[in-house]
Structure 1
Amino acid sequence: MKAIFDDRQWVHDPKHFMANGTRLANPEQPKRIEVLTEGAKEAGCRFEAPEDHGLGPIAALHSAEYLVFLQTIHERWSRIEGASDEVIPNIHPDRRTASYPRSAVGQAGFHQADTSCPIAAGTWEAAYWSAQSAVHGADLMAAGEQAAYVLSRPPGHHAFADLAGGFCFLNNSGIAAERLLKAGKRPAILDIDVHHGNGTQGIFYERGDVLTVSLHADPVRFYPFFWGHGHERGEGAGRGCNLNLPLARGTGDDEYLKTLETAFDHIRAFGTDVLVVALGLDAYEKDPLKGLAITTPGFGRIAAAIAKLGLPVLFVQEGGYLSEELGQNLTSFLKGFQDA
């Protein structure tokens, strides 16, 4: 299986994030690249670097205003006397239709949903190449590849069209799906990260041309809290094209696989001809963010079930944080898919 990654993705090195009012070490560390690379190679993946397709594929989903913000905010923030090294918001508007300020502090609050997406000097460059990796993967699928793995880091599924959040800045899985759509495909996104892909849902919620399906820990008491509930089905042209399958905290392999069958029913019914899997490995039973209880062999079983759909599949890395078994979980998943 081909794998895609660009070395410039290393330069995003966030130090902190806020959780429960406490400043903590950021778990979305560059070392994830090293561990995931080894896990992919162990599964037989052959890495290649992406081409630069410019801002077009990114701007197809994200607003120009937001892209200007991501490119310039760290330099502007750094000019504030006494400012922190990383851009972390401290005020947010009560609605997306609120007035747009000139202030760097105000714009940070407008474009960053939470305190889990600090922006440092290398963030834009890394996010740009993470997205380019996803574009390259989509192009491989459009050219006839049956499967490919994109090591997108930083991840993307919490990023809305003009809003970062949850360690995410550009919605890599959504960018890949949009690229495939423009290539004449009918894509669906299956998000198996432990957290609901709220940014992905938000981008496609009123559209009927991309199906979005997410299995995740029930957000009633789990991030992202406000999105990911079962009654959220899409609106307008997108009504019935968004499916959320929230799971009880601690759900293990067998129950997860049963729920996955419901996801597959919708993917088939949509007439999907290429599948983008937002591949979170943080559903693992020992992941530091603690939501579900998937085992290392369980990831292989999940991947084997996806393989039996018989569709071309692009795997785009989302979450999965540093634990002793992170690389093994990716190996188990990719081998499980290939063996099936």
Structure 2
Amino acid sequence: MLTIYNDQHALHQGKVEMFRGELVPCFEVPARVDHVRHELERRGLGPLQAPDAFDEALLAKVHAPRYLDFIAHAWDEWVALDAANATRDALPSYWPTRGMRTDVLPKSFPARLGLFSFDAGTPLMAGSWTAARHGAACAWTAAQRVIAGGQRSAFALTRPPGHHAGADFFGGYCFVNNAAVAAQALRDAGVERVAVLDVDYHHGNGTQAIFYERSDVHFASLHGDPLTDYPYYLGHADERGAGRGEGFNHNLPLPRGTDFTAWRAALKTALDGIAKVKAGALVVSLGVDTFEGDPISGFKLKSDDYLRMGEDLARAGLPTVFVFEGGYAVAEVGVNAVNVLEGFAQK
């Protein structure tokens, strides 16, 4: 399996995040990708390549232009606010809530930082935009290689992750929605309907929001119940899409403690739905924070279960783009992610 690797990912390396009332070291670290790369190389699963030259105009098809403009210049504005900020990450302090206006763009940088974010756990630093742009290029290249290059599958190995980033907001460690970029690239390449399947423990709220009113991209997600788990405010089973997208959004929230037998049954339900809408290609938001040892999640999957997951995904019989998302049991993340890819490749 071809892997498109983001060699700029380590430019994004947060110092701290806000977690339950205190600043703690970031869970999302560069070693996550390093472990996956080392495992890919150890098993010889396929070549690693840099992304192709990328037309960033594609980003404006999934993200709002004013948001992209903000993210591109946010670090410079943060440092201009106070020279001491050059030594610390940017985290928001204010957010608009119900009844407040979001259509007017504040001149104040701290106000705009809050406007375009939804949590205090996603630090922004000097290299965040470069890392995120290269991640989008990886997702786009993987999609191009699958369709234009005639590959059965490709893997975008990148960070920061992407599935929590919406059209005009970042959060959940995500700035650019890589899965949405891949899905849009497949649509632009002529695939009539693309399916995005999110297997991360946390609901892909950003991906859902981007495609919620579209029928050309079907979104399905297996995740921790938002009644108890981040991102809390989206991911319920009754969210089925709206307008032309009604019926093309499929959430399968599961309780904490879910083991692989129950999880796999939900995966079958999601894949049956993807087959029903006659998707022509598949994008998998590959989070492995469903692992039993993950520090911020609650499912009970074991390392061998990820091989079976890959086999089940292969049985869908679709050209498939894998995009790396979450997984915070850092020592095991490489084995678990590559098990999915190996299980897929062997079928």
Distance 2:190 2:164 in 1: 26
Once the 2 structures are TM-superposed, how far is the Cα of residue 21 of structure 1 from its aligned partner? 1.3
Q: Structure 2: which 5+ runs fail to align?
A: none
Match of 1:213 in 2: 220
Would the aligned equivalents of 1:112 and 1:163 in 2 still touch at CA under 8 Å?
yes
Would the aligned equivalents of 1:42 and 1:331 in 2 still touch at CA under 8 Å?
no
Letter in 1 for 2:254: L
Match of 1:224 in 2: 231
Match of 1:117 in 2: 122
Over 3 Å counting, the alpha-carbon distance change for 1:97 and 1:75 in structure 2 is closer
Once the 2 structures are TM-superposed, how far is the Cα of residue 64 of structure 1 from its aligned partner? 1.2
Distance 1:325 1:318 in 2: 14
2:179 maps to 1:170 = no
SS, match of residue 29 in structure 2: coil
Once the 2 structures are TM-superposed, how far is the Cα of residue 152 of structure 1 from its aligned partner? 2.1
Match of 2:5 in 1: 5
Aligned length: 340
Distance 1:316 1:205 in 2: 20
Distance 1:139 1:323 in 2: 30
Match of 2:281 in 1: 274
Runs of 4 or more consecutive aligned structure 1 residues displaced over 3 Å after TM superposition: 81-84, 95-98
Once the 2 structures are TM-superposed, how far is the Cα of residue 7 of structure 1 from its aligned partner? 1.3
Kindly report which structure 2 residues correspond to 1:1-340, keeping only aligned pairs within 5 A, or say none. Answer: 1-43=1-43, 44-81=45-82, 83=85, 85-94=88-97, 97-143=102-148, 144-185=150-191, 186-340=193-347
Distance 1:78 1:53 in 2: 28
Letter in 1 for 2:168: D
Once the 2 structures are TM-superposed, how far is the Cα of residue 309 of structure 1 from its aligned partner? 1.1
SS, match of residue 165 in structure 1: coil
| Structure-2-length-normalised TM-score | 0.95
- Residues 36-65 of structure 1 show CA distances to partners (whole Å, capped at 9, x for unaligned) of 101222341210001121211212111111
| Structure-1-length-normalised TM-score | 0.97
- Residues 219-271 of structure 1 show CA distances to partners (whole Å, capped at 9, x for unaligned) of 10110000001111111111110000001101111111111111011100111
- Residues 292-323 of structure 1 show CA distances to partners (whole Å, capped at 9, x for unaligned) of 11110111111111111111111100001243
Letter in 2 for 1:238: G
SS, match of residue 329 in structure 1: helix
Q: Structure 1: which 5+ runs fail to align?
A: none
SS, match of residue 41 in structure 1: helix
- Residues 87-126 of structure 1 show CA distances to partners (whole Å, capped at 9, x for unaligned) of 1111111257453201110100011111122110000000
Would the aligned equivalents of 1:288 and 1:323 in 2 still touch at CA under 8 Å?
no
Distance 1:294 1:70 in 2: 35
SS, match of residue 284 in structure 2: strand
SS, match of residue 137 in structure 1: helix
